[in-house]
Amino acid sequence: MTRELVYTGFMSLDGVVDSPGGKTEGHRSGGWVMETEFVPEAYSLKADELADTTALMFGRRSYEAFAPIWPRSEDHAAYKDLPKYVVSTTIDDGDLVDNWGPITILRSVEDVAALKQEEGGAIFIHGSAELARRLAEADLIDRYNLLVFPVLLGAGKSIFSREDRDKLNLKLRDSATYSNGVAKLVYDVVR
């Protein structure tokens, strides 16, 4: 049995995942999640994920954004000691933070495919749009946990490729809508 690889993230209605937390992340409309009325139940998916997460995976840029913050964040305390994987050809061991559990650098999509064949539970990818797109193109993503926000950003990073490819079917596992307009959509990739 292979490990499940799950992409989890905040997304605009037009598929942009870029800079949900703030302008410092690079998008001119950054912070769009924070501009949506806070309704606690709309974020219940994130709490549910904590029970399923056995490891985290990041691309280099997302790792560099999260690593200075998440090890000290009470909201992310459950992740502190979990194994983490950073997929990058440029990061080195000296670039990794201390006191955030075991961190392994993977250099390629093939390394991710090999990791999926090992024993263990679900690996969750946070942020990391470019990594998620490459892994989806290699047919390595098994599930999408999405919170879709009622905003159109027009441009920005997406986890979905714009390249012509074979159709990929998804099966809805769970969904809900909330009073602030956020929709929870959890899809399994059909193989």
Domains assigned to the chain: 5-189 (3.40.430.10)
**In the prediction, which pLDDT does 132 show?**
96
Contact 23, 31 (CB under 8 A): yes
Q: Which residues contact 124 (CB under 8 A, 6 or more apart)?
A: 6, 7, 8, 49, 52, 53, 55, 56, 57, 145
pLDDT at 12 over 70: yes
Task: Tell me the β-bridge partners of 53.
Answer: 122
C-beta atoms surrounding 190 within 10 Å: 8
**In the prediction, which pLDDT does 156 show?**
85
What pLDDT digit, counting tens, does each position of 125-173 carry? 998 999 999 999 999 999 999 999 999 998 888 999 888 888 899 999 9
**In the prediction, which pLDDT does 24 show?**
65
Q: Is the pTM of this model over 0.75?
A: yes
